[in-house]
Amino acid sequence: MADLRSKQEFEVGVEFYSFALQEADDSLVPVAYPERASDADEFVSFFQGRVDIRSGGHTHTATLAAEVWDAAPPEDHSRDWEVKGEGEIASQTGELSICEMGGSPGNYIQLGETETRWKLRVYCSGRTAVRDLAQVEVPSYVEHYLVQLWPAD
């Protein structure tokens, strides 16, 4: 059974429908965010050392909870999640920066292990509501994300 090691909560400034999680040492990321940010409607896009997350709204403030587990956690049912994506990311530093368009990283997810590949599962709720609200205002805390991370086997 998987055990939760840590949980962190953040505010994320979403611009141009996206933000990213990226290896904290950007010299280890061949194409750093927002370079080649996907315009596609894919919820998550994976690059070497980086995961782009596509939002439902153009410009707004979202919440992000990051859970670090020691093994694959059970799927989360705490909310009515609208979308989910899964994949892997490598981290040499044991930290992932939360990258916002046009801004330098300010928040870091602490993974607790260096030189490790991580599986991750990303969930989102509030996409439909923020899509509609962002047409007429700059909403806050309508869209919510959960990222679950655990060491890849």
Q: Which residues have C-beta within 8 Å of that of residue 68, sequence separation ≥ 6?
A: 4, 5, 6, 7, 109, 110, 111, 112, 149, 150
Closest CA to 110 of 151, 73, 67, 47: 67
Using an 8 Å Cβ cutoff, are 33 and 62 in contact?
A: no
Per-residue pLDDT of the chain (153 residues; tens, 9 = 90+): 999 999 999 999 999 999 999 999 989 999 999 888 766 779 999 999 999 999 999 999 999 999 999 999 999 999 999 999 999 999 999 999 999 986 666 799 999 999 999 999 999 999 999 999 999 999 999 999 999 999 997
- pTM recorded for the entire structure: 0.94
Q: Which residues have C-beta within 8 Å of that of residue 20, sequence separation ≥ 6?
A: 33, 34, 37, 50, 51, 52, 53, 98, 99
| Ordered domains of the chain (ranges, CATH) | 4-151 (2.60.34.30)
Helix, strand, coil content of the chain in percent (nearest 5): 5, 50, 40
Burial 128-153 (b: 16+ CB within 10 A, else e): eebbebbeeeebeebbbbbbbbbbee
Rounded-to-integer distance, Cα 76 and Cα 98, Å: 21
